A = this chain, B = another copy of it.
Amino acid sequence: MSMDTRIETALKNALSTEALADCPPRLATSLPYAVFPGGARIRPTILLSVAMACGDDMPAVTDAAAVALELMHCASLVHDDLPAFDDADIRRGKPSLHKAYNEPLAVLAGDSLLIRGFEVLAAVGPHSPDRALKLIAKLGQLSGACGGICAGQAWESEEKVDLAAYHQSKTGALFIAATQMGAIAAGAEPEPWFDLGMRIGSAFQIADDLKDALVSAEVMGKPAGQDSTHQRPTAVQTMGIAGATKHLQDILAGAIASIPSCPGEAKLAQLVQLYAQKIMDIPAAADRS
């Protein structure tokens, strides 16, 4: 089974009609609406890649970790699109959840998706209570108020912004979660995987800033220029387009060098090289468009 198929299958099982029995009908359809069809699924793909590099000896635990992480990401997108935040009408080429349903259901769908993620992790306790609990703690840490994605969004309500903390928590956190949860799911120590996640997260953030500055709304499937509209400080604003592109190349080179020693190290390095190429292609394509 390809990684893509594995991720989609696991996500579909977590939000199947059976899993959502007894759920109010509109809320029940809103949850898959928020998750399918997905974007690049880059976070669970990284998680699976790291788990496989570490042996992936408990695939059910790895799948649960990938699902919980992607559900948390999708929950954050739903809340992020709300009128109080980005007020986005479009997400992944279709109406944002609060536009397709309503604002109450968008708040509740976000809450429900993130709760579901923790439930999915608790459900693999019988495979390994230790790994399940570590995954729950890690997901909580990197999604919550202290260094997690909630912190990332909350920095936008501060008068004085800690830029490093802002970027690391807003975008970096779930990439760090991807590498560290991948390691935990396969029974490896998470600490050595922090650096790779942080670097991929930084690269993704800068690539996104470059896209945001360059790409038209049609290409991205969401209104362009959101960041400058909302006056968030971006890498492009501080370094310029050429500076940000050079910085992105440096970070990606460092990411490959940072991969910890593990059984599948060489293969993982190839994969990260591939991701790096994809990430570099996006602003390059935007620049040409």
| A102 contact set on B, CB distance < 8 A | 84, 157
Chain A 65-95: CB-based contact to B (< 8 A → 1; otherwise 0): 0000000000100010010110000000000
Segment of A38-46, A55-63, A135-143, A179-187 engaged in the interface with chain B:
A135-143
- Cross-chain contact B119 with A150 (CB below 8 angstroms): no
Chain B residue with Cβ nearest A137: B122
The A interface is mostly helix, strand or loop, or mixed, namely helix
| A151 contact set on B, CB distance < 8 A | 22-24, 27
What distance in Å separates the Cβ of A148 from its nearest Cβ neighbour in chain B?
A: 7
- Cross-chain contact B111 with A122 (CB below 8 angstroms): no
Contact of A137 among B79, B119, B156, B157 (CB under 8 A): B119
Interface size on A, residues (CB 8 A): 61
> Is residue A243 within 8 Å, beta carbon to beta carbon, of the partner chain?
no
- Give the CA-CA distance A24 to B168 in the complex, in Å: 13
- Cross-chain contact B26 with A158 (CB below 8 angstroms): yes
| A132 contact set on B, CB distance < 8 A | 133
- Cross-chain contact A27 with B145 (CB below 8 angstroms): yes
Having A24-B165, A85-B107, A118-B118, one finds 13 other A-B pairs with CB under 8 Å, namely A21-B146, A23-B147, A24-B145, A24-B151, A26-B157, A27-B145, A107-B107, A109-B145, A114-B115, A119-B136, A119-B140, A122-B133, A125-B133
